Structure 1
């Protein structure tokens, strides 16, 4: 028997590698050719992609948007608001006198003012021994008959023992007139002195109608001032100035200007100038910090 029939035949390793490589090449060649043909036709590629649910866009994919960090807003500076001094300062008696109808002069003072103006009033005294009131008066009769005065002037200021004025009344009977048909200057001094001593500027409007002997009547803040022709005697004129302390407007105005209802300003400088609210707030904050630090 020969040696070939006694064992397996051995194939060289190099020949096996060549055979395997040739087989792989032959397998990949049709795949590459098919892939080239498939990619060469865009419509086929798109149809296959749609079949598997993919969307193809001819446009380039959008670039990712990078969100910019939000700008930090700078808070606006606090607005400065000025506080008018009239809102925080206590009422002044001179200003209050324009609204609060109260006499700023006493009975003796106004009687002396009439005398200084040429109206010879009496001294401030009691009309009788047992009277608790006080008064001064002036009376001058120019002409009269057996029954009554035909031309005269009468003025009386009445008040209390403490000097408070209660009322001022008077009467003119056929008063003398000037060349223009107006009340003569001597009698006008009564009303000019009266208005000046009262200190109520709105009653200055009464002087013009009184000078022309026209009726005038005004009531403001509890004070009543009138000059009227006497209905019983066409040549007679009655005038009166009364302050009603219990009147509603007088009571409310007096309560408003009462010093007991006003709180004293914490900082004296506030009453001198207008301070911005922002400065007041910063000062209050500084005071609080000082108080905390002291603790």
Structure 2
């Protein structure tokens, strides 16, 4: 019996990995959660006939002039055909606020659902900044959230929530544990009595572990 040298060689610090987050909810589920809250998101489907990207989106224009919207809300959840989320983006133009300058509850609710469905609890403290229309940018464990006022525009705001591996250790972790590396089924590693489930039809609970 031979033993792989990888099991006995001295660890190399420069090759260390790092804890890295993953999405704990599918695109279809988060789109459904937004619809259940009364936000008229489209169905989770292919962006086009020739495009393997999937998405759902919502757009509401409240007021516009002859050139562009003066007040609007736009949300898009973008992912792939198996339901993995790539990124969530939103844009609010001329948002309605109360006397204290706080974002209208109906629009804030969109961001609350997105952040809480992601189950990354340490991002929930960014909701106070979003409510008060203050810039906030945060990056933790390869996940990032930003809510910023557009440069050169008085009252337009962009929101982004997603994953990115930036440091060398994060890139190594993402590469090593990639779906393509470990979960690509082949005739040799799928037994005859093993039934593959369609990820899009699998209900993923948004209940976060404590």
What TM-score do you get using the length of structure 1 for normalisation?
A: 0.51
Select 1:165's aligned residue among 77, 85, 96: 85
Q: 1:208 to 1:125 in 2, by over 3 A?
A: same
Once the two structures are superposed, what CA deviation does each residue of 1:61-101 show, in whole Å capped at 9, x if it has no partner?
A: xxxxxxxxxxxxxxxxxxxxxxxxxxxxxxxxxxxxxx532
Query: What is the aligned partner in structure 2 of residue 216 from structure 1?
Result: 136
Q: 1:161 to 1:118 in 2, by over 3 A?
A: same
Query: What is the aligned partner in structure 1 of residue 113 from structure 2?
Result: 193
Give the number of the structure whose residues are more often helix, by fraction: 1
User: Are residue 141 (structure 1) and residue 56 (structure 2) matched?
Assistant: no
Once the two structures are superposed, what CA deviation does each residue of 1:148-199 show, in whole Å capped at 9, x if it has no partner?
A: 0000000000000000000011100011112332001100111100111110
User: Are residue 102 (structure 1) and residue 102 (structure 2) matched?
Assistant: no
Cα distance between partner residues in 1 of 2:91 and 2:99: 22
Higher relative contact order (CA 8 A, sep 6+): 2
Could you list the runs of 5+ residues in structure 1 that have no partner in the other structure?
Answer: 1-98, 259-295
Q: 1:206 to 1:125 in 2, by over 3 A?
A: same
Residues paired across the two proteins, number: 160
- The answer to whether the Cα contact below 8 Å between 1:222 and 1:248 also exists between their aligned partners in 2 is no
What TM-score do you get using the length of structure 2 for normalisation?
A: 0.71
**Which sits farther off after the overlay, 177-186 or 160-169?**
177-186
Deviation at 1:250, TM superposition (A): 3.5
Once the two structures are superposed, what CA deviation does each residue of 1:99-155 show, in whole Å capped at 9, x if it has no partner?
A: 532111100000001111221100001121111110000000000011100000000
Cα distance between partner residues in 2 of 1:208 and 1:242: 19
Could you list the runs of 5+ residues in structure 2 that have no partner in the other structure?
Answer: 1-18, 179-210
Give the number of the structure whose residues are more often strand, by fraction: 2
* Structure with the greater alpha carbon radius of gyration: 1
Local SS of the residue matching 1:188: helix
RMSD across aligned positions (CA): 2.1
Cα distance between partner residues in 2 of 1:143 and 1:173: 10
Q: 1:134 to 1:144 in 2, by over 3 A?
A: same
Deviation at 1:248, TM superposition (A): 3.6
Cα distance between partner residues in 2 of 1:256 and 1:164: 18
Q: 1:249 to 1:224 in 2, by over 3 A?
A: farther
- The answer to whether the Cα contact below 8 Å between 1:221 and 1:249 also exists between their aligned partners in 2 is no
